[in-house]
Structure 1
């Protein structure tokens, strides 16, 4: 028999006349996650110790307030924001992370009974009925999940793992329903207030449940194994989904989308030392964030834009575009260093740490690595396979043009620039089924647009391509990038980064992702 028994309140029994033992103010997060009553023993609960689990204690709960909300009632909050601990009661436990709310009762390892009230009904009195909910999830599955990966296949984890996870995590479900409803509104013109309200609720719930991440990190705590892997996964999936939502909502959604990207970056960096072995979904989402983060950094110029960027995980080097993205980010960092030295008047060509020929060789090797890794996908020998090979060429030459302009300036032979521009436009024009690879085109199409200042024919090609991207993907934001390119073509600015910096200074970030 256990040496310590618990009353229904969760406190340890004591001998008559003795003083009450000290207890924690609320159930520990591990017991809450396990849905059992915590004994709240100090310094850590006995139930965690008996199960050889890490008990994180009962300290202040920390909320992530900035880095996510750029609008609504959360706008302007700073992080970390510390909630004062309160004496817990049966109804004061942490918000449930499953669609059905639960309450503390019963004994150890006894599931807590479901609440009669669905938490969504409290947030949304007019929350979609089950059939509408099912239709929105199906739309995400069939129309949106494929837009969020390089190649849509049976191995698309957004469809295979994220959709089932949404059935267990209310925040992720809200994010998916929001982007699905918004996408339907854009593509079918059926306007509704639900997407924005679902987005706001998801952001609020993330802000309430981002415990033990940035706050504890800032306070000097070693997060280690205290961070719940399941929590990290649904939060990261929700942030990436919300970033895509913002891109679909308005032509100026980059700032809001970027706030979600920054929040996701902070989350992943905070968990960098946490053991996440065999967490397939977290690894997938981390690499999805790396793609987004690295490409976004090429056109965002703030002082912190390249700080703590998420890179492809070293042990995932066999993923497609992994080597390419790592090299591209190094080019971006070197280009920012060049700009700083030019601004201070201390730049010398000798400061560039790589030659143009070495850059070409590096990207050529990365192209080969991507094609080899893509072979694992087993694409059939049809138009999709041919188009993917063209997409690899598209990114290769777009990266070379980007490198020539931002890192080497006018120090590369014009014949090299012209050759890559020619192949880039040829490969874009040769795509057989653009509708199946539109999600891959915004960044290289942007680079192509910066290379056709004095060529009206190429300008018309890029303009139509961006209009098609916005229409086929249902993301209005890409029309804003087209506006930027048209301003560039009409101006006398010779370096597109100058105009992009000016746009950013006026609150209009360019994110061609």
Structure 2
């Protein structure tokens, strides 16, 4: 599933479709004429074209890392990239006032380069560089918490709070990139707790920063939903701040419905019941259809190009059919579930085949491709396509977690060859119980 800061239509790609290469990508490729690794060339080229707000560090290393954040990380934090991407516009402005956020961006960029390069692009001492930036971030966060305890919240303090919450959120993404489950869970919980605390501030104080808070609420809510699917841990999200998340925003209603399905699965496991789910398959299908309509309705009102809107609608459809597959695997209450699963799987595979260039939406594809893969153990051709697509998005995004997903799905296929009744959700629970939960993100 998503987080990737997919909060709103900021996931659109200005003038790009899901199957075309952007002009900026083409230009970057044309400029790579030496023998150094392409990513290193891109970083060096970007350093010569700084376009950051005043107050950003100007040393060579920082500029390279900020460039990598701007060009490689910010685009994948949203559903589809646009000029209005909040991970550029909001984050970079707040960073000039927040040392914690500034150092967290450097931390995330260092870790991302390391994950993408598999140690081939960057010096051996990059690990210590990541640790140094991370220690700086944590030190700034500790100082921020001390200030919050000792002082009454004011406008300046809340500006720092926005930076601190974003910094913690970025540490969550760093742990996802590096496949660190314990750190990921800790940072996601910390981010949500800080947002809850922010929500308790006097309304007249935090009103000007409410859009940033709401934006972060949606992002962390989606992250926590992704985590809940395969962590097999209790749902911890308080309903205070969560109740203010608008279902009109893209994928919020989708996450609500996924949570309904996960709760059905957990209740069945707790009470060892395979019948009488809390909601019948027909009701859940209707909820997914409502979620799809809400996302597309929001998309239609957003000021962007026709190509961007088409790309976003394509992503919405991918998630819709992936959600139906997951639901049919959980509810599994007879012929109706089987019919839903078959139709959804066939449609999802066809949608995935339609996309010849994943670069624009690679950050969104782990969930739909993984769910499609859970239904094709008996088709060598479909299995090959799933492997290729997962490997491709892994090459684009660099997420270590995607490599674990690929290994997981291949193990699942092997088990299905021995026993077709093998259930991937049961398998995911075993992974979680031994402290190695997968994260479909």
Give the TM bin, normalised by the shorter chain.
0.7 to 0.9
How far apart, in 1, do the equivalents of 2:437 and 2:68 lie?
29
- Paired with 1:146 and 1:348, the residues of 2 have a C-alpha distance of 42
Residue 500 of structure 1: aligned partner = 428
- Residue 196 in structure 1 maps to residue 131 in structure 2: yes
- Contact kept, 8 Å, 2:299 with 2:309, in 1: the verdict is no
How many residue pairs were aligned? 370
1:299-378 equivalences in 2 (<5 Å):
299-302=230-233, 304-308=234-238, 314=244, 316-342=246-272, 347=273, 349-350=275-276, 352-378=277-303
**C-alpha distance in 1, partners of 2:240/2:226?**
11
User: CA–CA distance in 1 between the matches of 2:170 and 2:225?
Assistant: 17
Preserved CA contact (<8 Å) 2:280 2:331? no
Determine helix, strand or coil for the equivalent of 2:231: coil
TM-score between both structures, scaled by the size of structure 1: 0.66
In structure 2, relative to structure 1, the CA distance for the partners of 1:173 and 1:267 (3 Å cut) is: same
Whether 1:255 aligns to 2:192 is no
| Aligned 1:109-258 pairs, distance under 5 A | 130-188=59-117, 189-191=121-123, 192=126, 193-211=128-146, 228-249=157-178, 252-258=179-185
- 1:417 CA displacement: 1.0
* Pair 1:425 & 2:367 matched: no
The Cα shift of 1:246 comes to 1.9
1:88-127 aligned at under 5 Å gives the runs none
Partner Cα separation in structure 1 for residue 309 and residue 333 of structure 2: 35
Cα 1:309/1:141, change in 2 over 3 Å: farther
Which structure 1 residue ranges, 4+ long, deviate > 6 Å from structure 2? Answer: 223-227
Deviation at 1:197, TM superposition (A): 2.4
Contact 2:114–2:122, Cα closer than 8 Å, also in 1: yes
Mapped to 2, the partners of 1:201 and 1:309 lie a distance apart of 32
Q: 1:263 to 1:417 in 2, by over 3 A?
A: same
Task: Find the structure with the greater CA-based Rg.
Answer: 1
In structure 2, what is the Cα distance between the partners aligned to 1:460 and 1:131?
43
CA separation of 1:157 and 1:356: change in aligned 2, threshold 3 A: same
Cα distance 1:467–1:255, how it changes in 2: closer, same or farther (>3 A)? farther
Aligned CA distance change for structure 1 residues 441 and 416 (closer, same or farther; 3 Å): same
Q: Secondary structure at the match of 2:324?
A: helix
**C-alpha RMSD of the superposition:** 2.7
- Structure 2: stretches of 5+ with no match in the other structure: 1-56
